[in-house]
Amino acid sequence: MKTLYLAIFLTLCLPCAEAARIKHVDEITALPENEAERDLWDVAVGHQDNIREEDRLVDDADLEAYLDRVGQRLLGNRLDHLGIRVKFIVVQNNLLSAWVYPYGTIAVNTGLLAGMENEAQLAAIIGHELSHFMQRHSYRELIADKRQSVIGKGLGILATAAVASQTGVIDTDLMKAGGLWTDLVTSGYSRKNEHIADAEGLELLVGAGYDQAQAIRAFEILKQNSAYGVLSPSLLWSSHPTLDDRLKNLTKAVKKAERKKGYQAGDIPSSEDYYRAVATAIRRTGAQDLREQYFERAQTAFQKYTIAKPDDAQGHFLLAEAYRLDNPDGPDFKARESSYQAAINQKTDYAPAYLELGMVARQQGQVAAAKQAFTRYLELSPDTTQADLVRWYLANL
């Protein structure tokens, strides 16, 4: 009980520590600075472990290496004095979001990677998350005297950590039950700290040589989360009610910089190169959107994917399926037919594409084309479970 009371006492006293200003990582020599911050790190590790245990991590070394290069371009050598290197994990989730843990690991959703249109836009979002880390915003939020609900959760953190110090076991169920990390990091930053991260993120973007106007477009793209019904500010920082205000501030800062004498626009890497770099995430996003019946979003994802991987027959086929499912009865079948044909062009024995070409030709009363496609399908898949149905179609065309 003494340990628990000590945790409660520390929590209630934490707001007083605000007077001893929490320093930016540029101003300190080691992280974490104290036990309270270390406890927060432990909770964050538990959250990251939960994601791994739930099999939501995307295992793609090339994709992680690409994100690492973008992060290092933004940071340069700013963390060398701490001996910390920012790491990245990719999470299977179609929401356009990212977050950073207090020890510098950035989690990026597949939906965010698929939603961005070039590397500069992605760098704008990563820069924002890097600022949250360098400003130590999760720790600031934990001890802010005006964030009583978070302080209450902080009580749980310290009490749990205190018990863990005696038992050697951290109660991760308690941490999950409180929704600590979702509230505190992925959606819980104050308006002030979000604006700080926006401003410093823009500085990082410019310092890395990217075109800063792309930050505006990146934040505009985040509004696409409304397609998933994400309207509550408690769910996602990108659907925060001040996003429009933040966009206004960001636009104002960019326009002001552009008016300065000697201004030069930064780098806007090609979309094609970006799509190739994040192709795994784009494909996963498209497939999930297809399963969850977000057909227009699936079309957008697979359009990007076929740009990145034009020789992947299945990519073209899945794009065609997104067109078909979105508008099964036409009257416009051209996009669907073109994508099925593109799949066949890449892989002449791609049987599913022949079946669907036969079906769409049948829908339009194109008897010869339907017979040709169905016949080829049966040649390639004579033992298919759909063989009898296809033979019936052939007999009744």
Rounded to whole angstroms, the Cα distance separating 211 from 269 reads: 9
Please give the average per-residue pLDDT across 69-89, as a whole number.
96
Helix or strand run (H / E) with residue 64? helix 61-75
Q: Which two tokens stand for residue 249?
A: 């501030």
Task: Supply the pLDDT for residue 229.
Answer: 63
Q: What is the pLDDT of residues 358-379, one digit of tens each?
A: 999 999 999 999 999 999 999 9
Task: Supply the pLDDT for residue 134.
Answer: 97
Which pLDDT band holds residue 246 (cuts at 50, 70, 90)?
Answer: confident
Which pLDDT band holds residue 168 (cuts at 50, 70, 90)?
Answer: very low
Q: What is the pLDDT of residues 264-309, one digit of tens each?
A: 999 999 999 999 999 999 999 999 999 999 999 999 999 999 999 9
First to last CA, the chain: 82
* Domains detected in the chain: 2-258 (no CATH), 273-396 (1.25.40.10)
Which pLDDT band holds residue 238 (cuts at 50, 70, 90)?
Answer: very low
Please give the average per-residue pLDDT across 174-183, as a whole number.
44
The angle at the Cα of 286, spanning 303 to 187, to the nearest 5 degrees, equals 120
Three-state secondary structure call for residue 51: helix
Give the percent of the chain with pLDDT over 90.
66
Please give the average per-residue pLDDT across 26-34, as a whole number.
94
